Structure 1
Amino acid sequence: MTMTTGFDAGPPMQRRNLHDDLVERLRDMIIAGTLAPGTRVHEGQVGAALGVSRTPLREALKFLASEGLISLQPGRGAVVRALTRRDVEGMLDVLVVLEDLGARLACRLATAADVVRIRALHDAMMAFYAAGDRLEYYKLNQAIHTGIVALSDNACLVETHAGIQMRLKRIRFIGNEQQAKWDGAVAEHVEMIAALEARDEERLAAIMRLHLNRTWDRVRDVV
């Protein structure tokens, strides 16, 4: 029997690699706003929509809580974390510093193969942009930022960057809701790849700083 749940969660979950698939699906629902900030996750409703029982769902929610996307509250259960304007602006300020350093180190340390791999992510991202697929575009967009910072070969930098980037996933996604803002972000990414391929650390650091500063401009009215 099919249960009506009141929202579109996509097709039922497959049993193969259930935990990872479930975490990814829930994360996507948070990023896209299907599970909106500040709302409680109704385990029965969401579990029915995804075709999973409460036990794996709860384990997935605990994992997302460790990423900062879910808050586990006494008496309410799992609640999608909501960020204030001050939270967002503060985290973006820190990301500017982290990605500036990551860009400089990447230009100094990346191998030719590393740069080719980032270029491949960029090209795949551009295909999703051309197709108008914002969610898949966004996932590769974030993979590029993560990938450039990872080229720094600085574990502390990578870990700190990953933690903040994870908490900002929903916020950065909504920055592309208007086509003009999305187009502008894409143009900045094109410049990033060109700078990385040229190993121009000043140029890459500058465009990544500009990109993050404009991210705040893109989202400030909807936070």
Structure 2
Amino acid sequence: MQGIDGGVSALDRVTPLNRRTLHDELVGRIRDMIIEGQLAPGGRIHEGQLGQALGVSRTPLREALKFLASEGLIDLVPGRGAVVRRLTAHDVRDMLDVLVALETTAGRLLCRRASDAEIAAVRTLHDEMMGFYADRNRLEYYKRNQAIHAAIAALSGNAFLAASHEGIQSRLRRIRFIGNEGPEKWAGAVAEHEEMIAALEARDADRLAAIIARHLERTWERVQGVI
């Protein structure tokens, strides 16, 4: 672009803003705050205070809150604004029942359809998760853990199954995170994941489905007392 005097305009040296990056970072940060309980279930999100704490204006903040509402993590309530969604024990039990059906089916399909490279990619996620477990980094452990469950659904090759799984898993983010509170609960979940990856690498569909079903049932046992 030329300036009035025919030279190069200063605008040509301006780097365009990457609004998507800002949006993604903001969504991720607020999501983590909900998962870790910094924004408590049932609590109203004060846009002014949160925006000031995060150093953003209300417009990108509201866009992020709308996106998180689409994930089921918050509710946009007339007259109150954004409120962190509180799930009942009945909600959680119902969603876990559906996840059992989806993930066991996905596991069977994955054993039959996935390439060796795709299974190796799941192993990589597992190894990264175990590294974070060794460091006792709960949030990063949890993110790899959820990535593994999402990968099982995605690699099933059934897009409808994967989409249904994503919708439920997003609503259970906080619940799945608190399921690892306490060393015994966490160690139990890790042991189940070790069994899962071994069954997957052996392409033992029946064994993998049984372990997934047991893992999700024990997830319910780990969280029902703290919902």
Aligned to 1:87: 91
Pick the structure with greater CA Rg.
Answer: 2
Matched residue SS, 1:62: helix
Aligned to 1:205: 209
* 1:37 aligned onto 2:41: yes
* 1:113 aligned onto 2:117: yes
C-alpha distance in structure 2 between counterparts of 1:133 and 1:17, whole Å? 25
> Residues 127-164 of structure 1, C-alpha deviation per residue, up to 9 Å, x if partnerless?
00000000000000000000011111101000000000
* 1:187 aligned onto 2:191: yes
C-alpha distance in structure 2 between counterparts of 1:216 and 1:149, whole Å? 20
Deviation, structure 1 residue 117: 0.3
Aligned to 2:66: 62
Q: Which of 56, 71, 75 is matched with 1:52 structurally?
A: 56
> Residues 187-221 of structure 1, C-alpha deviation per residue, up to 9 Å, x if partnerless?
00000000000000001000000000000000000
Aligned to 1:134: 138
* 1:71 aligned onto 2:75: yes
Deviation, structure 1 residue 16: 8.0
> Residues 71-99 of structure 1, C-alpha deviation per residue, up to 9 Å, x if partnerless?
00000000000000100000001100000
Runs of 4+ in structure 1 off by over 3 angstroms are none
> Residues 40-91 of structure 1, C-alpha deviation per residue, up to 9 Å, x if partnerless?
0000111111111111000000000000001000000000000001000000
Aligned to 2:4: none
Deviation, structure 1 residue 181: 0.2
C-alpha distance in structure 1 between counterparts of 2:32 and 2:105, whole Å? 29
C-alpha distance in structure 2 between counterparts of 1:65 and 1:190, whole Å? 33
C-alpha distance in structure 2 between counterparts of 1:62 and 1:161, whole Å? 21
State the TM-score, normalized to the length of structure 2. 0.91
Matched residue SS, 2:160: helix
State the TM-score, normalized to the length of structure 1. 0.93
* 1:27 aligned onto 2:65: no
Aligned to 2:172: 168
C-alpha distance in structure 2 between counterparts of 1:145 and 1:53, whole Å? 35
Calculate percent identity across the aligned residue pairs: 69
* 1:155 aligned onto 2:159: yes
C-alpha distance in structure 2 between counterparts of 1:161 and 1:17, whole Å? 25
Deviation, structure 1 residue 15: 7.9
Deviation, structure 1 residue 186: 0.2
Number of aligned residue pairs? 210
Structure 2 residue runs of 5 or longer lacking an equivalent are 1-17
> Residues 83-125 of structure 1, C-alpha deviation per residue, up to 9 Å, x if partnerless?
0010000000110000010000000001000011000000000
Matched residue SS, 1:30: helix
Equivalent position amino acid for 1:144 in 2: I
